Amino acid sequence: MKTAIVTGVSGNMGQAVVSQLLQDGFQVTGTLVPHDPYQPDPAQTAFETAIVDLTDEAASAAFVQQVIAAKGSVDAAVLTVGGFAMGDIASTTAADLSKQYKLNVETAYNIARPVFVQMMKQGSGRIFLVGSRPGSDMHQSKGMVAYGMAKSLIFRLAELMNDEARGKNVVVSVIVPPTIDTPQNRKAMPDADFSAWVTPASIASVIGYYASTAAADLREPVIRVFGNA
C-alpha cells in the first residue's frame, strides 16, 4: 500500500486531500498543530495524525523519519499549510515578511526537504506544494505584498527540487488554485461569485490523479486548478 504525508489535515483542503488519498488506497499520516481540536474518524484505519510544529525544523524532520520508520517509504506528500495577509508596500514591514515566510515557506520546506531526500533514495515519489496566483505573478500581489513574496518562493523551491531530481521518478508540483470555496471565504466575501471558485474536493481530485499510477509519466511542475475563474 502506498503511503502519504498530508500537512494541515484539519483545514478544508487538508481534509479533502486526506479523503481523496484514502479513497485511492493510500495510508495517510497527517499533521495537526498543537492544541488543534480536530478529531479524525476512528473508522479510518488507514489514517493517523501527529502533532507537529511545522515551523520547527528538527521536529518536522523527526516526524518524517518516524513515518519512514513505520511505513518504509513516502510515496506522496501534500503540503497544505500556509497563511495569508493583506498589505501594500507602505504598510508591510520586515516583520510582516518574516511572518509570511515562516507560515508559507518554512512550514513547506521543513517537511519537503526530508521527504525529498527519502524519495531520492527510493527513486520515486510525488510532492505537492500549494502556491497561489499572487505568488506566480507579482502583478497580482498588489495589496498583499508579504504573502505574494513568500508564495513566490514555493515556485522557486519546486524548480530547484525538480532540477536535482532530473532523471529520477521524483516530481515536485505546485498546485495553483484561485479562491477556494470554503465556508470561511464565503463568510469573508459574501458578495462574490461563488461559481467561479474551486472546491477543496476538486483540488484534491486533481492531486489524487497526479499521485496515481495513471499519471506516472507526467512531469507537471505547475498545476493550475482554475475551474471557471
Helix H or strand E segment including 129:
strand 124-130
Residues 6+ apart with CB under 8 A from 187: none
Residues 6+ apart with CB under 8 A from 31: 5, 6, 7, 8, 9, 49, 50, 51, 52, 54, 63, 81, 111
Spatial contact of 72 and 122, defined as CB atoms under 8 Å apart? no
**Mean predicted confidence (pLDDT) in 1-8:** 96
pLDDT at 195: 83
Q: What angle do CA 71, 156, 207 make, to 5 degrees?
A: 45
Q: Which residues pair with 127 in a beta bridge?
A: 77, 172
Tens-place pLDDT, residues 190-203 = 988 888 889 999 99
- The answer to whether residue 229 scores a pLDDT higher than 80 is no
| pTM listed for this prediction | 0.95
- The answer to whether residue 30 scores a pLDDT higher than 80 is yes
* Spatial separation of the C-alpha atoms in residues 212 and 215, rounded to whole Å: 6
Other CB atoms within a 10 A radius of the CB of residue 214 amount to 10
* Spatial separation of the C-alpha atoms in residues 135 and 177, rounded to whole Å: 11
Spatial contact of 1 and 27, defined as CB atoms under 8 Å apart? yes
Whose cell is 522557486? That residue is: 156
**Mean predicted confidence (pLDDT) in 95-122:** 98
- CATH-assigned architecture of domain 3-81+108-134+153-224: 3-Layer(aba) Sandwich (3.40)
Please state, for a pLDDT cut of 90, what percent of the chain lies above it: 79
